[in-house]
Chains A and B, each alone.
Chain A
Amino acid sequence: MKRNPIRLLAAAVLGLGVGVASAQQTVLISGLVELSGTGATSGTNFDNGAKLAVKEINAAGGILGRKIEYTSSDTQSNPGIAKALAQKAIDQGAYVVMGPVFSGSILVSMEETRRAEVPNFTGGEAAAITQKGNPYVFRTSFTQTTAMPKVARYIANNVKAKTVAIIYVNNDFGKGGRDVMMKNLEAVGVKVIADISTDPGQVDFSGAVLRVKQSNADALFAYTNEEESARLLRELRKQGYDKPAIGETTLTGQKVIELAGDAANGAVAHVGLTADAPLPGIKAFDEKYQRDYKFKSDHNGLKGYTGIYIVKAITERIGKFDRKAFAAAMKGAKISAKEHPGVLMDVSFDQNGDLDRESFLTKVVNGKQVVVETLPALGAK
């Protein structure tokens, strides 16, 4: 068979053209996530959630006709690596950066995205993140300053505790939460009589639990990362602790329940997001997530998922891929779940990048996280 060189050339040019065209049709979103190290659980969930949203959006035609190209890189839960990866994401021309989830990491890496004026969504909950006047950082979850008042009120009004013991993890996340909680407990007239610091990655909580028991406080407020929360719950069970253990978000998380087993039963926590929320959108998310990843998402999966949909909603609102316009449009933005089902719940942002929406009070019953109460958004009152 004779080959026609012109036809071949034409095909090559066409192929090249198609290549260029498809490259033009994508928009890069870079995920900087904790895939190993102490944040592996949080980062993996966040990453999975983001990937799931990207898959759905791309299947439905992308954002403004452009497909999302999502890449995830492992920060190893290390702020230094997160910073370097943020720089790399900027060099690659990321439209938006997702992550890191750990507060200690985003506090460092967001300086890079701020300098390059790239919008940066984080799963971090430390209050300090949005107090630095950075116009390019946005949350995907509550801050400690919005969540802790709800927890303090619950401890005072529902548990009716007069005294509380606090166990917290000595990192940016834990210390930040403890400080806000102290203030809020004081405001509702609850006294903190044991203030116990623990290390990130700590394995033995026998001393900490013994101090809680000796303090004889009416309740325990526990604020540590996932693995440590599980070890803590196991130690509480081992030492026969029988008073309420209350947390914020992590304590009743899916991974914690899985790791702590029976010891998790009875633990109570306020959560901003949960895959068990009694909302149709979240139920559908839960099914899709479990189908794709074979395990149940924790709140970080929902953060990643809704984060990507927020990017889509705001980009469509401004009608172009413009990082500066995006950041400006985020200020005071309100996104309704009716118009943008992917955000799952009505959400509003303030001038600092903090968000507000409904939240839930959860309890572990028979190894399952059960929503016992839906709490209104702070701004809804």
Chain B
Amino acid sequence: MAHTMNELIQLVVSGTATGAIYALAGLGFTLLWQASGTINFAQGEFVMLPAFTMLFCVMAGAPLWLAFLITCAAAMVVLGVGFKRGIVDPLIRHGVIPLVIATLGLSIALKTIVRAGYSAEAHQFASPFPAGQFSVGGITVSYADVGTLFLAGVIVVALQTFVTRTVTGRAMQAVAQNTDAARVLGIDAKRMVLYTFLINAVLAAVTALLITPTYLAKFDMGDSIGLKAFFAAIIGGFNQTRGALLGGVLIGVLENLVGFYWSPAYKEGVALMLFLVVILFRPEGLLGKAEERKV
């Protein structure tokens, strides 16, 4: 009995770690939506691109931490400022649909470019955490899972603190809630939206750092992450930052449990099932509030 209990806890812990990674990508999704009404279907490729940037830096001889910092900076410029100025700003005034289509196109373009440059083969990616594991009361936990949970936790807490405790963070929230009112109050709404894009870019880089050691760097690695991030955001509630966290962790844990106790064949369907149930019975998401759409 204790045996099966330990098994369950182990599955929940490693599922939470994987789920935390989905949550980070999902968080970026909801942030962009709240601040600018952008649905970014290239979110998966926004994770894939930093993975290859880091790979490039590491191959050029940089240690992983330096590669990560360079990638963060590059991501902020390209996936933050570049994405906003080049694609979102010109298209958003035509509504959500053109932008959705544009991001779908962007996703295909990015995959094709990376495939042309790096071939369709997978590439090794070093883990930022040491291999191995330790036991606590009969439950074995790997360093990688603990490291992932820790790093994801730090980032979520830091982000939450930034948004709720700092003037800039509150201004960002104000813009997300009511752009016009925020503008009247003298908040530079454009700048706040730009910050959101920068945060999303960094979140994508962190997600890449955490997930690529498992997924391996491959041009289509974003397909599944992007989808999971989207599901996580919808399940938790698209208009709630905390929602994406709950959604991500829920998917990660359930995937692990279904894969182990039922069959790995059904694992990939878990997020989709959850997504369908939520859409049918609680379309605003588990933590979301039913609210009127901003026009």
Check if B142 is an interface residue, CB within 8 A of chain A. yes
Q: Does the CB pair A41–B214 fall under 8 Å?
A: no
* Complex interface residues of chain A between 37 and 71 (CB less than 8 A to chain B): 37, 40-41, 44
Shortest distance between the CB of B215 and any CB in chain A (Å): 5
Shortest distance between the CB of B224 and any CB in chain A (Å): 7
Check if A211 is an interface residue, CB within 8 A of chain B. yes
Q: Could you give, for residues 238-270 of chain A, a 1 whenever the CB lies within 8 Å of some chain B CB and a 0 otherwise? A: 111000000000000001001111110000000
Do A207 and B260 form a contact, CB below 8 Å, given A239-B142, A255-B121, A261-B124? yes
Tell me, in angstroms, the Cα distance from A263 to B126 when the chains sit together: 11
Interface size on A, residues (CB 8 A): 35
Tell me, in angstroms, the Cα distance from A227 to B216 when the chains sit together: 8
B255 touches which one: A170, A204, A208, A210 (CB < 8 A)?
A204
Give the one of A207, A230, A234, A239 with max B CB within 10 A.
Answer: A207
Shortest distance between the CB of B31 and any CB in chain A (Å): 25
Q: Does the CB pair B264–A40 fall under 8 Å?
A: no
Shortest distance between the CB of B23 and any CB in chain A (Å): 16
User: Closest residue of chain A to B144, judged by CB?
Assistant: A238
Q: Does the CB pair A230–B216 fall under 8 Å?
A: yes
Interface size on B, residues (CB 8 A): 35
Check if A206 is an interface residue, CB within 8 A of chain B. yes
Q: Could you give, for residues 129-171 of chain B, a 1 whenever the CB lies within 8 Å of some chain A CB and a 0 otherwise? A: 0011100000010101000000000000000000000000000
Tell me, in angstroms, the Cα distance from A231 to B122 when the chains sit together: 11
Q: Does the CB pair B120–A35 fall under 8 Å?
A: yes
Do A211 and B260 form a contact, CB below 8 Å, given A41-B121, A259-B123? yes
Tell me how many residue pairs across A and B have CB atoms closer than 8 Å: 87
Which residues in A have their C-beta under 8 angstroms from that of B264?
Answer: 196-199, 202, 207-208
Q: Does the CB pair B256–A214 fall under 8 Å?
A: no
Do A204 and B18 form a contact, CB below 8 Å, given A199-B264, A255-B121, A259-B216? yes
Which residues in A have their C-beta under 8 angstroms from that of B132?
Answer: 237-238, 240
A207 touches which one: B11, B122, B126, B213 (CB < 8 A)?
B11
Check if A36 is an interface residue, CB within 8 A of chain B. yes
User: Closest residue of chain A to B223, judged by CB?
Assistant: A201
Q: Does the CB pair A239–B133 fall under 8 Å?
A: yes
Shortest distance between the CB of A78 and any CB in chain B (Å): 13
Check if A203 is an interface residue, CB within 8 A of chain B. yes
Tell me, in angstroms, the Cα distance from A263 to B124 when the chains sit together: 12
Do A204 and B133 form a contact, CB below 8 Å, given A210-B10, A238-B144, A259-B124? no
Check if B89 is an interface residue, CB within 8 A of chain A. no
* Complex interface residues of chain A between 183 and 208 (CB less than 8 A to chain B): 196-199, 202-204, 206-208
Q: Could you give, for residues 106-138 of chain B, a 1 whenever the CB lies within 8 Å of some chain A CB and a 0 otherwise? A: 000000000100011111101000011100000
Which residues in A have their C-beta under 8 angstroms from that of B10?
Answer: 210
Q: Does the CB pair A258–B124 fall under 8 Å?
A: yes
Which residues in B have their C-beta under 8 angstroms from that of A259?
Answer: 122-124, 216
Tell me, in angstroms, the Cα distance from A198 to B267 when the chains sit together: 10
Shortest distance between the CB of B212 and any CB in chain A (Å): 11
Q: Does the CB pair A206–B256 fall under 8 Å?
A: yes
Give the one of B120, B126, B255, B265 with max A CB within 10 A.
Answer: B120
Tell me, in angstroms, the Cα distance from A227 to B214 when the chains sit together: 11
Tell me, in angstroms, the Cα distance from A238 to B3 when the chains sit together: 20
Which residues in A have their C-beta under 8 angstroms from that of B213?
Answer: 234
User: Closest residue of chain B to A262, judged by CB?
Assistant: B131
Q: Does the CB pair A203–B215 fall under 8 Å?
A: yes
Which residues in B have their C-beta under 8 angstroms from that of A41?
Answer: 121-122
Q: Does the CB pair B123–A40 fall under 8 Å?
A: no
Q: Does the CB pair A231–B121 fall under 8 Å?
A: no
Which residues in B have their C-beta under 8 angstroms from that of A234?
Answer: 213-214
Q: Does the CB pair A227–B122 fall under 8 Å?
A: yes
Q: Could you give, for residues 327-359 of chain A, a 1 whenever the CB lies within 8 Å of some chain B CB and a 0 otherwise? A: 000000000000000000000000000000000
Q: Does the CB pair A239–B265 fall under 8 Å?
A: no
A214 touches which one: B7, B14, B142, B267 (CB < 8 A)?
B7
Q: Does the CB pair B121–A203 fall under 8 Å?
A: no
Q: Does the CB pair B216–A231 fall under 8 Å?
A: yes
* Complex interface residues of chain B between 257 and 284 (CB less than 8 A to chain A): 259-260, 263-265, 267-268
Which residues in A have their C-beta under 8 angstroms from that of B11?
Answer: 206-207, 210
User: Closest residue of chain B to A255, judged by CB?
Assistant: B121
Do A199 and B124 form a contact, CB below 8 Å, given A234-B214, A238-B144? no
Which residues in A have their C-beta under 8 angstroms from that of B133?
Answer: 238-240
Which residues in B have their C-beta under 8 angstroms from that of A214?
Answer: 3, 7
Which residues in A have their C-beta under 8 angstroms from that of B122?
Answer: 40-41, 227, 230, 259
Tell me, in angstroms, the Cα distance from A40 to B18 when the chains sit together: 26
Offer 28 A-B interface pairs, CB within 8 angstroms, sorted by A.
Answer: A40-B119, A40-B120, A44-B119, A197-B264, A197-B265, A199-B264, A199-B268, A204-B255, A204-B259, A206-B256, A207-B11, A207-B256, A207-B264, A210-B7, A210-B10, A210-B11, A214-B3, A230-B124, A230-B216, A231-B214, A238-B131, A239-B133, A240-B132, A240-B133, A258-B124, A259-B123, A261-B124, A263-B131
Residue positions of A touching B, CB distance < 8 A: 35-37, 40-41, 44, 170, 196-199, 202-204, 206-208, 210-211, 214, 227, 230-231, 234, 237-240, 255, 258-263
